[in-house]
Amino acid sequence: MDVKLVSQDRDLYKLCREILGGIPNHYWTVSLVEPEAVSGASDLCVWDFQPLLPLPEAVVSLSLIHI
């Protein structure tokens, strides 16, 4: 499964790698992506949303799921 973490927080990236690495019998790739560089498809996109930053144009056109 391809996971993209859209964030500038390297500690959050490390935490995501640790969590996903603890799930047995699954193959994961985790990529840290700057908010300005969001492009392409992935199986799961985790957005570290910061309310004061504007969303990049590539994201505005996507359907977002809010949890």
Q: What is the pLDDT of residue 12?
A: 92
Across 30-54, b (16+ Cβ under 10 Å) vs e yields: bebbebeebeeebeebbbeeeeeee
pTM exceeding the 0.75 threshold for the entire prediction: no
pLDDT digits (tens, 9 = 90+) for 12-58: 999 999 988 888 877 888 888 876 666 667 788 888 877 776 666 66
